[in-house]
Amino acid sequence: DADCGGECACATCHVYVDPAWFEKTGAPVPASQEASMLSFAAEAEFNSRLSCQIAMRQELDGLIVRMPQGQH
């Protein structure tokens, strides 16, 4: 949903990055706003990211993510 418009002020764009892509997208920086928001997200996992914080670039073409069950 990205209710905040990509401002990293909610967790409605919470996704799970496919393990094959996790190294390319990276993990949230510890103590970052994204990490803080994910601490409030339901069902957060090691590969959780806020999609609004993944910088899109050519090498991520074909990126696979899945949404938490409660966000469908």
Q: What is the pLDDT of residue 49?
A: 96
- Whose CA is closest to 14, among 57, 60, 63, 47? 47
Q: What is the pLDDT of residue 18?
A: 97
Using CA of residue 53, residue 24, residue 14, residue 65, what is the dihedral sign?
A: positive
Number of helical (H) and strand (E) elements in the chain, helices listed first: 2, 3
Q: Is the pLDDT of residue 72 over 70?
A: no
Catalogue all structural domains in the chain, each as residue range(s) with its CATH number.
Answer: 14-71 (3.10.20.30)
The pTM of this model reads 0.88
Q: What is the pLDDT of residues 12-69, one digit of tens each?
A: 999 999 999 999 998 898 889 999 999 999 899 999 999 999 999 999 999 999 999 8
